[in-house]
Structure 1
Amino acid sequence: MNSVSNHPTTTSQPNNDLMQKLVGRRALLRNGTLVLAGAALTKHQLFSDETASEHAKSVRVGLITDLHYADKSPAGSRHYRETLDKLQAASQQFAADRPDFVVELGDLIDAADSVDVEQGYLKTINKQFSAICDDRHYVLGNHCVDTLTKEEFLGGVGQERSYYSFDREGIHFIVLDSCFRSDGEPYQRRNFQWTDPNVSAEEMEWLRGDLKSNSKPTVVFAHQRLDVSNHHGVKNCVDVRKALEESGNVKAVFQGHSHQNDLNEIGGIHYCTMAAMVEGSGPESNGYSVMDIQADGTIEIKGFVRQASYHWGV
């Protein structure tokens, strides 16, 4: 796991030996935060003007995942009702940073015993979430359609499709839906096992066509993980990764589902798993981030509370 905290430290400038080790690992320290770079850095680059990362951002994105909102008692480490307060804290940060759009990476709600109750959960959390930004994007998570159908969930948040793409300022964005069974049937109303997520054949055909028609730097949003083959991973993740790699334009994939910070680089693409908002009690257990994407594909993620911070160059 390549995850780091964004909490500031008081460490002094690293000595030459440490610097060489960090350069060898394609990493550096900036304001005490581990920064992962896309290429080995020189000593001059390591200690260059710390304001360089503030130059000319093309697109700013707010990211949250796995809120699992429900009006029910905690279960294990999941504190469902506290999501409302945690989301309020995130919304205050987003109000200051003013993202161009906000993405929720799946599992906005947790399961209810009935459709009516579930729709109440969705209405409550989406009222607060929709107040953050007019331009919002919802990735379908398995819990979003545990009680509801995809049409009911999408209708509740005002989103037309579960997978699609869009452009902002020269950057291409793709939203994926992995909530399909191995036989191609869509998840809905407890007709699935959460360990059997797949990108459907129809969606794969669409994805290949979308990637082929695009030459812009590309960022992908998903819920279930595309970088692992365990129970948190998409069953046909190898096929999905192959399509992403063959395009030559995909810079990063942002995903949730496993609730913890994680980072893998496969085939030249960063697969970044974000911290879940539902995990833990109190404001110190929150997690959300603001991402800046420059026109050349450079990506910088500023994480808050439990969410790690990262920087990837071109």
Structure 2
Amino acid sequence: MTRPRSRDLIQDWTPSRRRLLGLSALGAATVPFGIGAGPAGAVEPLRFGVIADCQYADVDTAGTRHYRESVHKLREAVAAFNDADLDFALHLGDFVDRFAESFADVVPTFEKLRMSKFHVLGNHDFQMPLGELLETLRMPAPYHHFRRNGWRFVVVDTNDISLYANPKGSEKYELARAMLDRLTAEGAVNAQTWNGAVGEEQLAWLRRVLDGARSRGERVVLNSHHPIYPKNVHNTWNDDELVDLVTSYDNVVAWFNGHNHHGNYGFAGGKHFVTFHGMVELDTNAYATVRVLEDRFEIDGYGREPDRIVPFGRPATELAATAG
């Protein structure tokens, strides 16, 4: 089938009145960048939820992956996000592990979120043709972007050039085969069949989006399934190219991703690269909420996901993981 192209989806949002949750003295003192005021003038920070690698399947546990338990972990995260009255929630790919029917067990739970919700495509999600997958996850396109409170959130498709997301013999499949062969010959650690790359058409689109955000004075968070930094076996195939691109924009703040279930963090070119822990791992949960303040993110981790203070332009401080 023909692979759908991305639409330049932009969703503008006017903040509704939300209850104030744990505002710091700094946040309460001023109206910071990325924060709106409610009808009575109260300061309301932008807050959103992040889940990575739910990776559900109705199969027995294998090694450290508790596939069947992910549906219960997802239910817990959804309840926590709803209680927190967040602005939106984001799943960073690999919503299921295998079988097209697996989506029927987790999509209804995710749809119970009482907020805007977004998916990023992961390698395990390709259990059906792309068009059906986008419809199942209610995604407008494999890559798109949306706005909240002066921030631009960009959904990047790192499966664009890959062996699993494109029909055999297609142009993108052959390009993926050639790219993987080259990386394998070079001994690259990320020369893995379950990784992919961002293609030239999407790269051109991404530059336009980042240029547009910069011209509007918007700060940017990019979101993908595969990491790009630091070097890791899980990284997208053209990770160096992507790092060079995002670090060349002064309005880019962070790149969020999943795929590496053990989590990771890097800081380069003044940008944060945060890999969130995979929900499917072990018998403990992993998800997070992110609060956007004038000069930092505050990541509140649940279960195996650590808390982080993420100051803009300086390395993050990781705190101990908590039970939430």
State the TM bucket, normalised to the shorter chain.
0.7 to 0.9
Distance 1:195 1:144 in 2: 11
Match of 1:304 among 297, 302, 305: 302
Match of 2:86 among 95, 99, 102: 99
Distance 1:196 1:263 in 2: 19
Q: Give CA-to-partner distance per residue, 1:59-91, whole Å, 9 cap, x none.
A: 111100101111111111111110111111112
Q: Give CA-to-partner distance per residue, 1:80-127, whole Å, 9 cap, x none.
A: 110111111112211221111000000000112xxxxx1x21122010
1:187 aligns with 2:174: no
1:151 aligns with 2:136: no
* Aligned counterpart, 2:148: 168
Contact 1:219/1:253 (8 A) holds in 2: yes
- Give matches, 1:276-295, under 5 Å: 276-281=278-283, 285-294=284-293
1:141 aligns with 2:122: yes
Secondary structure at the counterpart of residue 162 of structure 1: coil
| Structure 2 counterpart of 1:187, one-letter code | A
Match of 1:257 among 242, 259, 273: 259
* Aligned counterpart, 2:13: none
Distance 1:54 1:305 in 2: 26
Secondary structure at the counterpart of residue 247 of structure 2: helix
Question: What TM-score do the two structures reach when normalised by structure 2?
Answer: 0.73
Distance 2:132 2:234 in 1: 25
| Structure 2 counterpart of 1:97, one-letter code | A
1:273 aligns with 2:272: no
Listed as ranges, the gaps of 5+ residues in structure 1 are 1-49, 113-117
Q: What is the deviation of 1:58?
A: 3.3
Q: What is the deviation of 1:297?
A: 5.0
Match of 1:51 among 20, 24, 27: 24
Match of 1:125 among 96, 106, 110: 106
- Give matches, 1:13-28, under 5 Å: none
Distance 1:91 1:124 in 2: 14
How many residues of Structure 1 are paired with residues of Structure 2 in the alignment? 253
* Aligned counterpart, 2:199: 200
Contact 2:95/2:125 (8 A) holds in 1: yes
1:66 aligns with 2:53: yes
Secondary structure at the counterpart of residue 204 of structure 1: helix
Q: What is the deviation of 1:186?
A: 7.1
* Aligned counterpart, 2:70: 83
Secondary structure at the counterpart of residue 77 of structure 2: helix
Q: Which has the higher contact order (CA 8 A, sep 6+)?
A: 1
Distance 2:280 2:167 in 1: 22
Contact 1:229/1:235 (8 A) holds in 2: no
Q: Tell me the C-alpha RMSD between the 2 structures.
A: 2.2
* Aligned counterpart, 1:209: 208
Contact 2:56/2:70 (8 A) holds in 1: yes
Runs of 4+, deviation exceeding 4 Å = 188-193
Distance 2:26 2:86 in 1: 16
Question: What TM-score do the two structures reach when normalised by structure 1?
Answer: 0.75
Contact 1:107/1:140 (8 A) holds in 2: yes
% same residue? 29
Distance 1:105 1:277 in 2: 11
Q: What is the deviation of 1:222?
A: 0.9
Secondary structure at the counterpart of residue 58 of structure 1: strand
Distance 2:50 2:277 in 1: 10
* Aligned counterpart, 2:245: 243
Match of 1:222 among 221, 224, 240: 224
Q: Give CA-to-partner distance per residue, 1:175-219, whole Å, 9 cap, x none.
A: 10000336xx77147978634410011100000111011121111
